[in-house]
Structure 1
Amino acid sequence: MNIEEKARKIWKTCFQDTEEEINFYFTKHFQETQWKYRGEGDTILSSLHANPYSVKIQDTISSYPYLVGVATLPEYRGQGHMTKLLFEEMLQFRKQGSDFCFLLPINPMIYRGFGFEYFSGREEYTFDISLLSSFPKNSSTTIVELTKENLKEYWEDWKRIYSIAMLPYTFHEVRDFHSFENLWEETELSQGKVYLFYQNTRPAAYLIMHVKEDCIHIREFLGTNREAYSSMFYFLKSFQEYYSKIHISSPENSHLEFFLENQLKVEKKSSPHFMGRILDVKLFLQKCQISAPEITIFIEDPVLFENTGYYTLNSDISFTQHQVEHYDFQIGIRELLPLLLGFFTFRDLLRLGKIKLHSVEHLEQLEKIFHKKFNYFHQYW
């Protein structure tokens, strides 16, 4: 077997994807250089795929490895093969200049021992389509369904909507034509559709949807203003003769229920979604643009020992592994990520016992620096 055949075999053994989904992944995403594995002879014991994604944190755009297809053959689980592979790859990512990697966990407990923690969430809304009865038609709205033939004509409008919708988010994917093309092809694979909404010829909103049994499932539902969301809801109302339920997956802090008249009839579920791991603390702190020269933090990393030490949050981020007598608080590598990206506030982690406060001198300033923020990423591969 060649490399791709070996990668396909362990993927097919460990996951429940259809043959069409597997073919799509290996046609569109698979690269030999991004496939990492441990094996014995011709047998692949454990493997993962490190697919690069362009991500914006604050004002900095970086390429980060997104770990997918993390798997060990059933008969070799519990023998430490994935532990060795993940550790080796984290070291390699760091040597190559990556200060961060991330994944979508099946079980978060598996990854916490490696220093991963949740940094973003998602909201899911389920409601009866009859709740949309009050949305009026907007005569200034036009709708375009994206197709293989017109994608190149309209993708920049799609990008414009997405970029405006991402403005409130600290961490999000930076999408180019290739990204949108893959997203459209993934949607087509699940027999879904993508619709763009225009207000007086200006791109204003889009939704990605597919139907399953009696429900319309929406993967992304993003608009630039209230009228744009109203137009999408009116569009969904037109399916009321065929479907009775709507299910929307949305970025955290969307508050979609308040577009509807009766919030008590909307089932809303908020849950953590993606986990990440800081590989190089100093570089990551610089990208987060946190500057406070008098604040010093002791950060402990029991896996990548190079990160353990004292960090002063000046413009260049001072770092030393020599003991510092006066510092503000101690935090583990796991908890540092949700603190920096605002998934938890400083007060949240203090209350949860995840921060050891060493000095109260700068407590008020710490609470202002480490406040609530929102992040969004929604890719399967």
Structure 2
Amino acid sequence: MLKDQLKNLWKDLFNDEWSYIDWYFENIYQENTTKTYLEDNYLKGMLFENKYHLSIGDERFLGRYLVGVGVAPERRGEGIMKNLLLKSLKKAKEFGEEFVYLTPIDKEIYEPFGFGYISKLSKYEVDFSALQEFKRKFKVEKIESTNYKEELLIKLKEFYRENSKEYFVKVAREKEDYKKILSEIFCEDGLVYISYDLFEKINGYIFLTKSKNICVKEFLFNDKDTLESLLSVLYGYKNYYEKLEFIFPENTYLEDYFKSEKNVKKIIKNKVQARILDVEKVLKRISGNLRENEEIIIHVQDNYFPENNGSFKLSFKNVERTLEEFHISLKIKELTILSYGFRDFNSLKKLESFYVKNKDKEEILSKIFQKKVNYFNQDF
């Protein structure tokens, strides 16, 4: 049976617990969104496409997140992964999707295919002693798999919508998304704590799992008092676990909330890579950052989709192909990194990874390619 082969290869390659693997195949897996490579009915490679609603500014579209990309160890180096990946990219392009995205083990695996980073996360390791200064200011409720109602999912969706407004590119979560997230947390024997303000509106939450340490897989909050309330709850675990680990959006500066940073360690981790499929759609959005009297010509190089190659003239809210001399030439990977604000123009310029032919246009390039904050937490 194909599903059994997929589960066994997943276990062999990624070594997740069977409880999680079973959960994934019961709740997420769909045969029609799975790419496989078979020989004599034996599975040699696989790629899963999970569909999510994505937001870029005020725009919203359906995109696919690639997971479980793997090849049987004895067949690596034969181009099986490339075959599966290109099939997925071509299908997404046929559906008019702007980009696909994934979480790489190492960036060098997918960069040759045009993937570039678009988001990062902050990871903290904190001693329990650092939490003793925090006091609970709001009501905090523990949620379990058997005690929550549909109404909670709606409240979580509404909280996330308000809390995530500051992010340029993000997953747009709906009620069903939170249902899956809670299901996944509970399948890992995790815990959910939710903070409510004085009007019974959600103002923050934590999703955590437990092993040697407490790992907070997501922590979102509206204000300092909410943060303190939730941290005070975590302090109650001080006698049972060694340390706390937190995952936050990159623009959450947890260290600022502590009197001392002595027991707080922070790592900024590049997290999600994307691959642009529709260059004109991306450039049209960028053109909205130009003034009415400005224009710039961008030359794009794409090794896998010839229709994305060429020079494009951008003016205010307009893009057209041109044979005129370009001002900047860059590969699809660099266009991805710049377009979604993972790097600004001036910082990426230092890498010399693209060619600016007309230095007079650097002021415009600095304006249209600015740093932005995106949020993808695909640990779920």
Same fold (TM over 0.5): yes
From 240, 245, 248, the equivalent of 1:247 is: 245
Deviation at 1:244, TM superposition (A): 4.2
User: 1:119, CA displacement in angstroms?
Assistant: 1.1
Structure 2 letter corresponding to 1:86: L
What is the Cα deviation at residue 316 of structure 1? 5.3
Alpha-carbon separation, structure 1, partners of 2:306 and 2:131: 54
SS for the counterpart of 1:119 is strand
SS of alignment partner, residue 105 of structure 1? coil
The DSSP-based 3-state class of the residue aligned with 2:239 is coil
**Distance across 2 between alignment mates of 1:145 and 1:185:** 15
Q: Distance in 1 between matches of 2:83 and 2:99?
A: 18
Aligned match of 1:275 in 273, 276, 279? 273
Deviation for aligned residue 1:285? 3.1
SS at match of 1:75: helix
Shift of 1:375: 1.0
> For the residues of structure 1 that align with 2:143 and 2:9, how far apart are their CA atoms?
35
| Matched residue SS, 1:313 | strand
What code does the residue aligned with 1:323 have? L
Equivalenced residues, count: 375
In structure 2, the partner of 1:145 is: 142
Q: 1:343, 1:18 → 2: CA distance?
A: 33
State the alpha-carbon separation in 1 of the partners of residues 209 and 21 from structure 2.
19
The amino acid that maps onto 1:207 is I
Task: Give me the CA root mean square deviation.
Answer: 1.8
3-state SS of paired residue (2:105)? coil
1:1-381 equivalence runs, <5 A: 1=1, 3-138=2-137, 141-148=138-145, 149-200=147-198, 201-213=200-212, 215-287=213-285, 290-292=288-290, 293-314=294-315, 317-320=318-321, 323-325=323-325, 327-380=326-379
Question: Identity, % of aligned pairs?
Answer: 29
Q: How many Å apart are 1:288 and its aligned residue?
A: 5.6
The alpha carbon displacement at 1:67 in A equals 0.6
Counterparts of 1:242 and 1:367, CA distance in 2? 50
Shift of 1:297: 0.8
Runs of at least 5 residues in structure 2 that lack an aligned partner in the other structure: none
Q: CA deviation at 1:331?
A: 1.1
TM-score (norm 1): 0.93
C-alpha contact 1:298 1:309 (8 A) present in aligned 2: yes
SS at match of 2:36: strand
8 A Cα contact 1:209 1:219, kept in partner: yes
Mapped contact 2:283–2:319 kept (Cα < 8 A): no
Q: Structure 2 CA distance, aligned partners of 1:219 and 1:305?
A: 40
**Aligned partner of 1:296: which letter?**
I
For the 8 Å contact 1:195–1:207, the answer to whether it is kept is: yes
Shift of 1:153: 2.6
Q: What per-residue deviation string (whole Å, max 9, x for no partner) do you get for residues 176-216 of structure 1? A: 11110111111111111111101212321101112222x22
Distance in 2, matches of 1:366 and 1:288, equals 10
Q: Is contact 2:295–2:316 with CA below 8 Å preserved after alignment?
A: no
Report the Cα distance in structure 2 between the residues aligned to 1:289 and 1:208, rounded to whole angstroms: 39
Contact residue 288 and residue 317 of structure 2 kept, 8 A? no
Give ranges in structure 1 of 5+ residues lacking alignment: none
Other structure's SS at 1:113 match? helix
Q: Distance in 2 between matches of 1:99 and 1:374?
A: 19
SS at match of 1:376: coil
Structure 1 319/35 Cα, relative in aligned 2: closer, same or farther at 3 Å? same
CA distance in 2, matches of 1:284, 1:102: 15
Query: Conserved in 1, the CA contact under 8 Å of 2:122 and 2:266?
Result: yes
**Contact residue 287 and residue 317 of structure 2 kept, 8 A:** no
SS in 1 for 2:303: coil
Distance across 2 between alignment mates of 1:134 and 1:245: 16
Report the CA distance between 1:289 and its aligned residue.
6.5
Tell me, yes or no, if the aligned pair for 1:57 and 1:287 is still in contact at 8 Å: no
Where 2:359 maps in the other structure, the secondary structure is: coil
Q: Which amino acid aligns with 2:304?
A: V
For 1:242 and 1:21, locate their aligned partners in 2 and report how far apart those are by CA, in whole Å.
24
Secondary structure class of the residue paired with 1:38: strand
Q: Please tell me the residue identity of whatever aligns with 1:261.
A: K
Cα 1:264/1:35, change in 2 over 3 Å: same
Q: TM-score, normalised by structure 2?
A: 0.93
Contact 1:58 1:287 (C-alpha < 8 Å) held by counterparts: no
The answer to whether the 8 Å contact 1:145/1:193 transfers is yes
* Range moving further from structure 2, 310-319 or 336-345: 310-319
1:186 and 1:69 map into 2 onto residues whose CA distance is: 16
Matches of 1:288 and 1:25 in 2, distance apart?
A: 37
CA distance in 1, matches of 2:186, 2:207: 10
Whether the 8 Å contact between 2:140 and 2:229 is mirrored in structure 1 is no
Aligned partner of 1:367: which letter? S
Q: How far off its partner does 1:264 sit?
A: 3.9
Letter in 2 for 1:350: K
